[in-house]
Amino acid sequence: MSALFEPYVLRSVTVPNRVWMPPMCQYSAAPTGPDAGAPTDWHFAHYASRAVGGAGLVLVEATGVSPEGRISPADLGIWNDRQVEAFRRITSFLADQGTVSGIQLGHAGRKASTDAPWRGGGALSEADGGWQPLGPSPLAFDEGSPVPTELTVDQIKDVVRQFAEAARRALAAGFQVVEIHGAHGYLIGEFLSPDSNHRTDAYGGSFENRTRFALEVVDAVREVWPEELPLFFRISATDWLTENADDPREGWTGDDTVRFATDLKAHGVDLLDVSTGGNAPRAQIPVGPNYQVPFAERVRTEAGLPVAAVGLITEPVQAEKILVDGQADAVLIGRELLRDPYFARDAARELGGDVRVPPQYGRSV
């Protein structure tokens, strides 16, 4: 059997194959009103089509644990029960197709309150529907971004609570996997990196202090998330600062990620979703096929934590080789699944694997 189409067991959940859809923001929720943050018909069609196409796991895009935790006003949220009801339509359909549903819970931190990418993605003023971003330190993301308000210790505790409450709602909405978003320069990642965290209290300075907030979130989520269901954590394995000799700033590194992965494993995380970058806007990133895979492989080998690899994985044979070579336990297919919702079915034909085809599409087999 093709490695790409072998089932994968995480706690009580069996994912039917290793073709997984990563979180990819759609910026298509209502920004205000009673349905603010709730998934729409666009989200249903978007996720349902990938399930029909055979993806084993679909991770719903970064979903704000609070209104101010959204990247943009049009982001999804899961801070109220009305949103829960709207998500149930998606999780129910995915389950009917044999696809495992997951959701990424996030807080955008200093990168919050921005416009949609196709409208430039710039910072939004309060007059334009934006809000004051929060962060570990009063350091703007870049020259065009506002200086965030530094979180107090009490506010940090509030955010930890918001993650736990969001996880409770995710369970009520029918999700089988929760992923905590600690990557791409959003709030948890901002605390991890010394480039964005200049605090001098218990949440800044040393490695143990900078990882404290992340582990508190993990513990709070794991406490309310059922023991039999898996918990993921997404991380940027490097800021791409120390790899660049021309940039003197100190950032989060691959060594830090391996060390932190051991802590995450001890705190009940089942899989690390390994990406890179997003916290340092001028970092030079050597983008190319498989460019992030070595970071995932290091975690799998050195920390003994299962990993999913992501980053310009576009071909079935390429994805298969990552698994066969032991570099990852699953692959996250992003841009290619946007281009082709039926990537899993196409890959199964190419590699000789089995994938579920809805009976309505039986004539296509």
Which of the following is catalytic: 8, 27, 47, 186? 186
Residue 353 and residue 345 in contact, taking contact as beta carbons nearer than 8 Å: no
28: tokens are: 């298509």
Cβ neighbors of 128 (< 8 A, separation 6 or more) are 115
The DSSP 8-state label assigned to residue 299 in this structure reads I
- Rounded CA separation 136/364 (Å): 52
330: tokens are: 């699953």
**DSSP SS3 for 297:** helix
Can you state the angle between helices 153-172 and 81-96, rounded to 10 degrees?
40
- Rounded CA separation 241/256 (Å): 13
- Rounded CA separation 149/281 (Å): 20
- Rounded CA separation 219/214 (Å): 9
**Other CB atoms within 10 Å distance of the CB of residue 132:** 12
86: tokens are: 């709207």
Residue 110 and residue 145 in contact, taking contact as beta carbons nearer than 8 Å: yes
79: left (phi over 0), alpha (psi -120 to 50) or beta: alpha
The DSSP 8-state label assigned to residue 254 in this structure reads H
Q: Is 186 assigned a catalytic role? A: yes
Residues acting as catalytic residues: 186
